[in-house]
Amino acid sequence: MSFPLYAPAEEHDMLRETVRALADEKIAPHAAEIDETEEFSWDVYKALVAADLHAVHVPEQYGGAGADALATVIVIEEVARACASSSLIPAVNKLGTVPLLLSASEELKSRYLAPVARGEAMFSYALSEPEAGSDAAAMKTRAVADGDSYVLNGTKMWITNAGVSEYYTLMAVTDPSAGARGISAFVVEKSDEGVSFGPKEKKLGIKGSPTRQVILDNVRIPADRMVGAPGTGFKTALATLDHTRITIAAQALGIAQGALDFAIGYVKERKQFGRPIADFQGLQFMIADMSMKLEAARQLTYHAAAKSERAMAGEPQKDLTFLSSAAKCAASDAAMEITTDAVQLLGGYGYTKDFPVERMMRDAKITQIYEGTNQIQRMVMARQLLK
């Protein structure tokens, strides 16, 4: 790769300006309404598709923009600065398709990545189950071979963009006697007979991105929709998260940046005791700490993104698992602290829906939970350090 390990190249900076302008014009004005109505915004999706920002990571050979991992991070970060729910469009499109990029046949990649690149379909990722969250290998969803088909039965839980995505990378047990090595990955289509969705979860944040169960009732799919060889699904799932935890870090950075930017503007305008509250050292120290935590998390995330790009290009990166967990954990913890402090800086106003920081605080919380809770991330990091 031509770009240095940490610093974005000039084209990354130009991309940031493009995405920020689009987000400020087409996404930010609707963010409060998206949160209030709890509806997926097809208008935002269309705006992202029109600008080719909905799935920038898809390689050019499948009709995509072929953006590197750092560019993808910047897109997600800038969309999340305006609206966290909307940032899950590029983020989850990556999450759903990375298993194919890592493990699928060329035929499967061409068949499913091209419609995503064209903006005709979104792609979700279905790993978790009601009783298999952090312990994903304990999943119960079964895929039973039947001739040249597999028949799938089970329930997947907490699936982001379920119901609006056309395609799902779904993990299911093909050999119950083999534990994690008996799990295989499949592409399931929304239109497959027997696929249905549970009611939308009523959530604290990211309300404009539906989270639902994916229910499989005797869903028969062709055997050629298996991603990789039988029994490699769990390995693919974990390898995928090494790349996509970085996109959750990016989302956290964007949410935090949005809150910090708003808080800085507010403290410079708000007057108490006859002067702007930005003049008070106690608040200056808060702003300084918020910015410091954000920049530290950003540098770690960009470093991890550069490693991810090299790994996708076929250069093994032995520290990618550690760095992606560290980036996700550091950025999401920082986002929670920064958004909470932003609410504090706005005082009573910060606690009302008239201002965006309470939404940002609610949205930040999920980044500490999904794609592996931060407690799991610390276990992953420790395992990498101690092995």
Third-level CATH fold of 10-118: Butyryl-Coa Dehydrogenase, subunit A; domain 1 (1.10.540)
Q: State the pLDDT at residue 3.
A: 47
What pLDDT is attached to residue 326?
98
28 in the Ramachandran plot: left (φ > 0), alpha (ψ -120 to 50) or beta? alpha
pTM, entire model: 0.97
- Nearest CA among 369, 372, 375, 346 for reference residue 359: 346
- Give me the pLDDT at residue 2, please: 44
**Selection from 104, 235, 259 nearest residue 178 by Cα:** 235
Q: Report the C-alpha gap between 33 and 41 in whole angstroms.
A: 10
Residue 246 CB partners (closer than 8 Å, separation 6+): 69, 73, 301, 304, 305, 308, 324, 327, 328
Digit-coded pLDDT (tens) for 178-221: 999 999 999 999 999 999 999 999 999 999 999 999 999 999 99
Terminal CA-to-CA distance of the chain, rounded, Å?
29
Total residues belonging to the chain: 387
- pLDDT (0 to 100) of residue 5: 55
Q: Which residues of the chain have pLDDT under 70?
A: 1-7
Quick one: pLDDT at residue 1? 40
Model confidence pLDDT, tens digit, residues 43-69? 999 999 999 999 999 999 999 999 999
d(CA 356, CA 61): 40
What pLDDT, on a 0 to 100 scale, did the predictor assign at position 4?
53
One-letter-per-residue 3-state SS of the chain? CCCCCCCCCHHHHHHHHHHHHHHHHHHHHHHHHHHHHCCCCHHHHHHHHHCCCCCCCCCHHHCCCCCCHHHHHHHHHHHHHHCHHHHHHHHHHHHHHHHHHHHCCHHHHHHHHHHHHHCCCCEEEECCECCECCCHHHCCCEEEEECCEEEEEEEEEEEECCCCCCEEEEEEECCHHHHHHHEEEEEEECCCCCEEECCCCCCCCCCCCCEEEEEEEEEEEEHHHEECCCCCHHHHHHHHHHHHHHHHHHHHHHHHHHHHHHHHHHHHHCEECCEEHHHCHHHHHHHHHHHHHHHHHHHHHHHHHHHHHHHHCCCCCCCHHHHHHHHHHHHHHHHHHHHHHHHHHHHHHHHCCCCCHHHHHHHHHHHCCCCCCHHHHHHHHHHHHHC
Distance from C-alpha of 304 to C-alpha of 72, rounded to nearest angstrom: 12
What pLDDT, on a 0 to 100 scale, did the predictor assign at position 6?
Answer: 59
CATH class for domain 123-231?
A: mainly beta
**So which residues are the catalytic ones?**
371
> Residue 220 is which amino acid?
R
CATH of span 234-386: 1.20.140.10
**What are the boundaries of each domain within the chain?**
10-118, 123-231, 234-386
